[in-house]
Structure 1
Amino acid sequence: MKLLSTGLHEIETAAELDKFINENENVMVCCGRMGPMCLPVYDIMEELEEERENVKFAVMAFDNPEAGVIRSAPECRGFMGLPFTMYYKNGAVAHATSSIQNMQQVTGILDKQFGA
């Protein structure tokens, strides 16, 4: 049951998230809602998905109980604003951000963590 109306792959369970991050070298997962802080990040991800073949992009609904694996991650401790965005490299958390991000911020993280 999709909870988010985006063109991105939606992860629905913690097990699916684990499989996704372990089967792909570079992963960006945005955990959020259909709200004003999250929509711009989803749009950026949709745009970058076409350009960044070395990165797999996905979303996860923040209010899904299965998203607790992201909400309670040590890297997200102290995060206040949605979305929580996680970057995974080889199955491990490489970077995490909270709140709205612009294209320059997202591409800067992708370049630093996964290479241009």
Structure 2
Amino acid sequence: MKLLQTNLQEIETASELKKMIEENENVMVCCGRMGPMCMPVYDVMEELEEERSNIKFAVMAFDNPEAAVIRNAPECSGFMGLPFTMYYKGGKVAHATSSIQNMQQVSAILDEQFAEKV
């Protein structure tokens, strides 16, 4: 059952998240609610998903008990605002942000964290 009304893949369990991180080199997961701080980030992700095929984009409902794996991550310990956004590279947390992010901010993180190394 989808809790978030987005066109992005929704992760419902910690094991689904683990599998996605293990099977994809670059993963961006936005953990939030259907609220004014989160929806703009979902919109940015939906737009970027079309042009960045080397990155797997997904959302997870913040209030889902299974999202504790993100809520309680050490990288999120000081976060106050939703959503919590995690960037995974090679199976490990590469970066984490909280609160609203615009296209420029998300793109800059994706460029920095997931750039194709030549």
Q: Hey, what does 2:99 align to over in structure 1?
A: 99
Matches within 5 A, 1:13-24: 13-24=13-24
Deviations 1:12-65 (A, max 9, x none): 000000000110000000000000000000000000000001100000000000
Q: Hey, what does 2:60 align to over in structure 1?
A: 60
Which letter maps to 2:54? N
Q: What is the aligned residue count?
A: 116
Which letter maps to 2:59? V
Which letter maps to 1:22? E
Structure 1 vs Structure 2: percent identity of aligned residues? 82
Q: Hey, what does 1:115 align to over in structure 2?
A: 115
Q: CA offset at residue 70 of structure 1?
A: 0.1
Q: Equivalents in 1 of 2:39, 2:86: separation in Å? A: 16
Q: CA offset at residue 68 of structure 1?
A: 0.1
Q: Equivalents in 1 of 2:89, 2:21: separation in Å? A: 8
Q: Hey, what does 1:51 align to over in structure 2?
A: 51
User: Which SS does the other structure have where 2:96 is aligned?
Assistant: strand
What TM-score comes out, normalization by structure 2 length?
0.97
Q: Is there any run of 5+ residues in structure 1 with no aligned partner, and where?
A: none
Matches within 5 A, 1:1-80: 1-80=1-80
Which letter maps to 1:79? F
Q: Hey, what does 1:89 align to over in structure 2?
A: 89
What TM-score comes out, normalization by structure 1 length?
0.99
User: Which SS does the other structure have where 2:5 is aligned?
Assistant: coil
